Amino acid sequence: MKARIHITLKDGVLDPQGKAIQHALGTLGFSGVEGVRQGKYIEIDLTETDKSNAAETVEKMCKKLLSNMVIENYSITID
């Protein structure tokens, strides 16, 4: 199975990388950009064939390694 994980900064946490992108878009002439937030996107190929087991494992991976629960949220899609 394939797990797709989105890791995004929680609301209120400063995102300097997003700000840098927003500024760069402005200097390139793109107007109408109200905000930019950058996160991470991770794809994991698993040998597990049961969807709920896979989701449980990936949830543990997120909590233990992939995300920093203090400042980041994660969302998991399994297919």
User: Which 8-27 positions form the footprint of a second copy (CB under 8 A)?
Assistant: 8, 18, 21, 24-25
Position among 10, 30, 68, 77 found at the interface with a second copy (CB under 8 A): 30
| Contact of 72 with 6, CB cutoff 8 Å | no
Query: Would you count residue 55 as binding a second copy (CB under 8 A)?
Result: no
CB of 70 to a second copy, least distance (A): 19
Give the CA distances from residue 46 to residues 1, 21, 27, 71, in Å, rounded to whole numbers and listed in that order. Answer: 5, 33, 42, 27
| C-alpha–C-alpha distance, residues 49 and 2, integer Å | 10
Residue ranges in contact with a second copy by CB under 8 A = 6-8, 18, 21, 24-25, 28, 30, 32-48, 57, 60-61, 64-66
